[in-house]
A and B are shown apart, each in its own frame.
Chain A
Amino acid sequence: MDMEASKKKLGLKERYNHLTRGLGWETTYQPMEKVFPYTRYEGIKIHDWDKWEDPFRLTMDAYWKYQGEKEKKLYAIIDAFAQNNGHLGVSDARYINTLKLFIQGVSPLEYMAHRGFAHVGRQFDGVSARIACQMQSVDELRHAQTQMHTVSNYNKYYNGMHSWRHWHDRVWYLSVPKSFFDDAMSAGPFEFVVAISFAFEYVLTNLLFVPFMSGAAYNGDMATVTFGFSAQSDESRHMTLGLEIIKFILEQDPGNVPIVQRWLDKWFWRGYKVLTLVSMMMDYMLPKKVMSWKEAWEIYGEQNGGALFNDLARYGIRKPKGWEQASIEKDHLSHQAWSTFYNYGAAALFHTWTPTDGEKDWLSAKYPDTFDKLYRPRFEHWEQQAKEGKRFYNGTLPMLCTTCQIPMFFTEPTDPTKICYRESDYKGDKYHFCSDHCKDIFDYEPEKYVQSWLPVHQIYQGNCFNPGVDPTVPGFDPLRAVLDYYHTNFGRDNFDFEGSEDQKNFARWHGDDAGGA
């Protein structure tokens, strides 16, 4: 290479071209398909990688500079938050449980996204696609870190945040987000980017990130709002990448269309199932509510998503198969999900509670067709039982869906009083599902999902006890042994909010010794 000194400095555009074109070459010692072995077996055909357009055209030096400035601002605010006991400024100690859900369920996925994009950032044949994925990989690592640092200020004072990385691989409800991402990571690179960059980051992110961040803003949690802002420009870059990817793949070959459509059917449904956790966060966990899950689905799903899929119709792409069902379920999802956590509150690593009278009225107003009829009587019964000192806990483990791994609490689309049961037979074994769409996903690739690490089955196989624990001794308490294996601080991380250490401490630190509600 000619290294002639003191040439004129390159402009941004030239530098980007060198980065994304000049650094790539056709290999000669080895055939390209051996150097990039993963980009053919999924059936996607790419004829011209140069057609990949990166709308941001960031070079590495610009990227570092830009991200560095955001980091400085973020950490200044986090420091101020820590020094001024910012945690006491939140609306109510119940709010902190949304942060527990976030650090337990979402932050580990940021880290997995970092790993996933690092992988595809190596595997794509096209250089600019690789560069875009590598930058996203670094973004995702930053998101995981900034979330840990923000939440660590709460972890000093509250329970349920101390072992989230350990929990990610073990705890029953966290297998829902974990299996979602592991499914994507173990797919090919094209399926991964369609799943994560498009179906999740583009189509569904407004139903994940926005509710958490606006929930933080409404409830006085400025530290969380700040990391939300800090991630926002990354998110818009990721969304643009997601849209770019889908258009690039669809334009390269007409044979790609049915493959992409199947992935959209699958990944919309898998992502939507993970959002079940968000629905109950919005309707039940935020002391000051932003909007209902139903309203959020109507705006971000039905309206925005509807417009998107109208736009993609010119490629021959239609709405994902489960779309209509999500609209039917919008009146039920959050109530059924929160009921489930209330059932299993002894084994959840955040607190649960019945809604206050004011909250019940809010739910009646937001869900006029369903709340009073189906769900209010349930919560009122539980409230009454708790008042009599008989707080209801379900002590028996639930049946799970093999695909999404959520307890089988979803009801039939045509009848909200009947649990939806679906099943398949494969190689002499039965497999059960919560919905037609989870069954479809299994039926297409059964050999993948026969490996599902279903927490309930793992517990019954004896794989979720600490080493040396003997389940055959008299008086053995399996629930307690599983919670020990989880590294639960028993009696502090779990059970009802009423009477919890978080509740008492928050009241005490506010000078309210009476505590409680």
Chain B
Amino acid sequence: MATVAISTYVFEPKDKVENFRGKQLLYIGWEDHLMYCAPLAFPFPGAMPFKAILEQVLPGCYGAHPDFARVDWSTVEWFKSGTSWHPDYDKSIAENGLGHKDVIRFRTPGLNGINGTCS
């Protein structure tokens, strides 16, 4: 029983990938930087190079944080659904195995937010 209901109860999910006009959702969180209150949501084409996220997207999103200019992408630690993960920056989002509504986070060792408070 997937829902307590008076009769058959089956619905299309509102957020199936087909509804995103050729894009898929990706969520990205920056660990230890809660000045950005929550992980961010993005609609990206699966063919977009992963590198473009780092070079073209995130600077516009996170650039206001004093730590962001000091991020060294070569030492960043990545997590996918909470477990350690190693993206290939030169491959696309899809080639990195990221599907619709996947969630990834990155930790920037040595950078711990405003005054080291994880803000």
Question: Do A390 and B64 contact each other (CB < 8 Å), given the known contacts A429-B16, A451-B13?
Answer: yes
A457 close to B64 (CB less than 8 A): no
The yes or no answer to B90 lying at the interface (CB within 8 A) is no
Distance between Cα atoms of A416 and B104 in the complex (Å):
19
Q: Are A445 and B4 in contact (CB under 8 A)?
A: yes
Q: Which residue of B lies closest to A460 (CB)?
A: B43
Q: Sort chain B's interface into a size bin.
A: 35 or more
Interface string of A140-158 (1 = CB under 8 A from B): 0000000000000000000
User: Are A374 and B118 interface neighbours, CB within 8 A?
Assistant: yes
Task: Say yes or no for B2: interface residue by CB 8 A criterion.
Answer: yes
Stretch at the interface among A85-93, A286-294, A336-344, A480-488: A336-344
Q: Mark B13-51, 1 if CB is under 8 A from A, else 0.
A: 111100111010101010110111111111100000000
Interface of chain B residues 75 through 116 with chain A (CB within 8 A): 81-82, 99-103, 105, 114-115
Chain A residues within 8 Å of B60, by CB? 395-396
Is B32 a contact of A417 with CB atoms below 8 Å?
yes
Supposing A407-B37, A457-B25 touch, asked if A41 and B14 sit within 8 A by C-beta, the answer is no
**Listed stretches A20-28, A130-138, A213-221, A418-426; interface member:** A418-426
Known contacts being A381-B35, A409-B37, A419-B34, is A373 close to B117, with CB within 8 Å? Answer: yes
Q: Which stretch from A75-83, A305-313, A397-405, A503-511 is at the chain B interface?
A: A397-405
Cα separation A398 to B61 with both chains bound (whole Å) = 11
Kindly state whether residue A456 has any CB partner on chain B within 8 Å. yes
Give the total of A residues in contact with B, Cβ under 8 Å.
58
Complex Cα–Cα for A37 and B7 (A): 11
The minimal Cβ–Cβ distance linking A377 to chain B, given in whole angstroms, is: 5
Q: Is the CB of A398 within 8 A of B114?
A: no
Is A464 part of the contact surface with B, judged by Cβ < 8 Å?
no
B5 at the interface (CB under 8 A from A): yes
Answer yes or no: B6 CB below 8 A from chain A CBs: yes
A398 touches B31 (CB 8 A): no
A327-352 at interface with B (beta carbon < 8 Å): 336, 339-340, 343
**Are B4's CB and A394's CB within 8 A?**
no
Known: A429-B101, A457-B25. A41 touches B5 (CB 8 A): yes
Decide if A399 touches B14 in the complex (CB within 8 Å).
no
A396 vs B26: C-alpha distance in the bound complex, in angstroms? 13
Once the chains are docked, how many angstroms separate the CA of A390 from the CA of B64?
9
> Does A118 belong to the interface (CB within 8 Å)?
no
CA distance A448 to B4 in the complex (A): 9
In the complex the two chains form, is A447's CB within 8 Å of B16's CB?
A: no
**CB pair B119 A381 closer than 8 Å:** yes
Say yes or no for B74: interface residue by CB 8 A criterion. no
- Say whether A343 contacts B37, CB under 8 Å: yes
Q: From B11, B21, B23, give the contact of A450 (CB < 8 A).
A: B11
Between A399, A431, A462, the greatest number of chain B beta carbons within 10 A of the residue's beta carbon is seen for A399
Complex alpha-carbon distance, A398 and B15, angstroms: 15
Q: Within the complex, what minimum Cβ distance (angstroms) separates B92 from chain A?
A: 19
A431 contact set on B, CB distance < 8 A: 101
Judge if B10 is at the interface, Cβ distance under 8 Å: yes
Decide yes or no: A448 and B103 within 8 Å by CB, A407-B38, A460-B20 being known contacts.
no
Q: Which residues of A contact B23 (CB under 8 A)?
A: 460
- Taking a contact as CB atoms closer than 8 A, the residue among A188, A191, A343, A432 that contacts B101 in the complex is A432
CB-nearest residue of chain A relative to B28? A399
Per a CB cutoff under 8 Å, which of A343, A378, A382, A452 touches B117? A378
CB distance from B42 to the nearest CB of A (A): 7
Complex CA–CA separation, A52 to B113 (angstroms):
58
Whether the Cβ atoms of B19 and A461 lie closer than 8 Å is yes
CA distance A187 to B42 in the complex (A): 32
Q: Which residues of B contact A375 (CB under 8 A)?
A: 119
Q: Does any Cβ of B come within 8 Å of A438's Cβ?
A: no
Contact B81 A423 (CB under 8 A): yes
Is there a chain A Cβ closer than 8 Å to B56's Cβ?
Answer: no
Our pick among B4, B13, B21, B101 for the contact of A427 (Cβ within 8 Å) is B13
- A103 at the A/B interface (Cβ < 8 Å)? no
Q: Which of B15, B25, B39, B100 contacts A419 (CB 8 A)?
A: B39
Q: Which residues of B contact A111 (CB under 8 A)?
A: none
Mask, A167-189, CB within 8 Å of B = 1, is 00000000000000000000110
Query: Does the CB pair B3–A445 fall under 8 Å?
Result: yes
Contact A394 B31, beta carbon cutoff 8 Å: no
Q: Is B35 in contact with A378, judged by CB distance below 8 angstroms? A: yes
Q: Say yes or no: is A392 at the interface (Cβ < 8 Å to chain B).
A: yes
Q: Which residue of A lies closest to B23 (CB)?
A: A460
Asked if A454 is at the interface of the complex by the 8 Å CB criterion, the answer is yes
Q: In this complex, what residue of A is CB-closest to B39?
A: A399
Residues of A within 8 A of B16 (CB): 429
> What are 8 A-B pairs with beta-carbon distances under 8 A?
A375-B119, A378-B35, A378-B114, A396-B60, A432-B27, A432-B101, A457-B14, A457-B41
User: Which residues of B are at the interface with A, using a C-beta cutoff of 8 A?
Assistant: 2-6, 9-16, 19-21, 23, 25, 27, 29, 31-32, 34-43, 60-61, 64, 81-82, 99-103, 105, 114-115, 117-119
4 tightest CB-CB pairs across the interface, nearest first?
A447-B2, A417-B118, A450-B13, A378-B119
Task: Give 15 A-B pairs besides A43-B4, A398-B37 with Cβ atoms closer than 8 angstroms.
Answer: A37-B6, A41-B5, A375-B119, A377-B114, A378-B35, A381-B35, A397-B40, A398-B41, A399-B29, A419-B39, A421-B81, A429-B100, A445-B2, A457-B14, A457-B25
